[in-house]
Amino acid sequence: MGREFASVGVVGLGTMGAGIVEVFARSGLSVTAVEVSDGALQRGEETLRGSIDRAVKRGKLSADDRDTLLGRVTFAVGLDALHDADLVIEAVPERLDLKQRLFAELDRVCKPEAILATNTSSLSVTEISVATGRPNQVIGMHFFNPAPIMKLVEVVRTVVTAEDVVTDIEALCARLGKVDVTINDRAGFIANALLFGYLNQAVSMVEARYASREDIDAAMKLGCGLPMGPLALMDLIGLDTAYEILDTMYRRGGRDRRHAPVPLIKQMVTAGLLGRKSGRGFYTYEKPGSPVVVPDEFTPRGDAEAGTAARTVAKVGVVGSGTMATGIIEVFARAGFEVVSVTRGAEKSAAVCETLKTSLNKGVVRGKLTEEQRDAAIGRVTWSATLEHLSDVDLVVEAVVEELSVKKALFASLDEICKPGVVLATTTSSLPVIACAVATERPADVVGLHFFNPAPVMGLVEVVRTIRTSDETVATAQAVCQALGKHAVVCADRSGFVVNALLFPYLNDAVKMVEASYSTADDIDHAMKLGCGYPMGPFELLDVVGLDVSLAIQRELYLELREPGFAPAPLLEHLVTAGYLGRKVTRGFRDYSKR
């Protein structure tokens, strides 16, 4: 029989602490909410009341329920008010010395059987626990912000946490309506260890002026379906908080350079640019605490120079016969462009044509386009088995196999066939665009146009400029994307571009967690979906993308960047060698043959 938690205490009533108070009170528990001063207590009570009042306005809570909820909360200054609590959870700032002093005092004040919990997101629960005389009754309960909404709680046990304490806290999480993942005490736990390496890398892109803040955020939202871009998320978290988490994970997590805070973060913290709470971080906000972004000084984007005229593009050639090529043909044809589809023979052309018609028919059935629009799109496509039919197009987009030798040979042929001024674009997702460019006598006209699969659905295109690409070519690529209804993200020619360079190291980090037996694929997927709002967990995504594809991209990133943290996880290599490639072969990190 597990223990009953009749009353709980919460120390620290900032945004997170006030949210945790609300979670407990909503679940019928009596809560003692504690702060260090009358002023801090008043601010915490205002934060709690504001959250509850918003719930009432949205119809999520009745006025009577609000009054009942608030009636369960006792506000107090000083820890002595917690002497009868069955559980105390702290949500004070992320400083180890502060938390250790607090836990030593809680150990003195609280009754001997009380459980003491920390909401730390990165500090060592073990180091906090040894400040007490009851380390076996100390545990981590890492809620996610906003606590009343986010479903995940990371339950963090130390090597000495009693098993009955773990079991009782897991049962409490269920009572609170939360999903718990129970893990050992390790830097960053699951969610932050995966999230902050990704956020840190995104900041390094801004620091290097590789791409703009807007383009990086748009790339990850549109390319991966994330609820927020990494830089907007950094502003929401707070750059000071992010710095402390990264620094802690770097020092405690084996000094992985993925977690070494990018110098720009420390510079911004020193300058007081902390994000939303200070009114300015990577973005500028209407006022401190406001989510409303206002215009500020220009951030370098890598676009064409202002005023550069785009070339006219009316007729487009698409080379290739795979899924991507077919999707690109559909995108251009539906947007009103004349399209020449070039494949290796009449049989492949017929197959691409049939696939295109099937996709367009689905669009009609779903009400996305009319029969007239479908017929017009089909009528704009000319089918060919020879490159010579590209002699009068304005833009060529290649979508052939991802082999550099094949692409270079194709670009050399296009250089001979196409008229002067034609933009030559490669859809490569991992190979160097410059290698295609120098295979021609017109490298200034070569650009990357990395569409995402399925091309008719995904709203993002990465426009990749090499050191030889002209402003006119970039401007033309951007204009074409606009005509297609796609968001163009401009970046330099570097392995992985924006999306893959940020996404696949994150996936690789997740594999390393399973490889180290730190957690399971299921718990890691739960953590990222419920704790960070991701549409898919990393292992779900790996199985969809294909483990072989992920391994190939990760190898390219490692070969170019030579960062030890980017080395492909051995487990990933072993699974690919064994033929566990994901959904396409029914087995990856999960078995799909029985689903």
What is the set of active-site residues?
A: 121, 142, 154, 192
Structure tokens at 275: 């994000």
CA distance 68 to 440: 74
CA distance 523 to 457: 30
Coil, strand or helix at 220: helix
CA distance 226 to 291: 18
Peptide bond into 454 cis (omega under 30): yes
Q: Which residues have C-beta within 8 Å of that of residue 498, sequence separation ≥ 6?
A: 205, 210, 211, 215, 216, 219, 220, 223, 462, 489, 491
CA distance 303 to 491: 8
For CA atoms 324, 329, 332, 333, the dihedral sign is: negative
Q: Where are the beta strands (DSSP E) in 23-178?
A: 30-35, 73-77, 87-90, 115-118, 138-143, 152-157
CA distance 492 to 368: 34
CA distance 459 to 224: 11
State the CB neighbour count (10 A cutoff) for residue 146.
14
Please say whether the beta carbons of 468 and 190 come within 8 A.
no
CA distance 138 to 136: 6
Which residues on neighbouring strands pair with residue 76, listed in sequence order?
34
Please say whether the beta carbons of 497 and 470 come within 8 A.
no
Altogether, the residues listed in the chain come to a count of 595
CA distance 595 to 221: 29
CB burial class (10 A; 0-12, 13-18, 19+) of residue 394? buried
CA distance 402 to 422: 22
DSSP string, 241-252: HHHHHHHHHHHH
Q: Where are the beta strands (DSSP E) in 240-372?
A: 284-285, 293-294, 315-319, 338-342
Task: Look at the block and give the residue holding tokens 């197959």.
Answer: 351
CA distance 21 to 4: 18
CA distance 256 to 564: 8
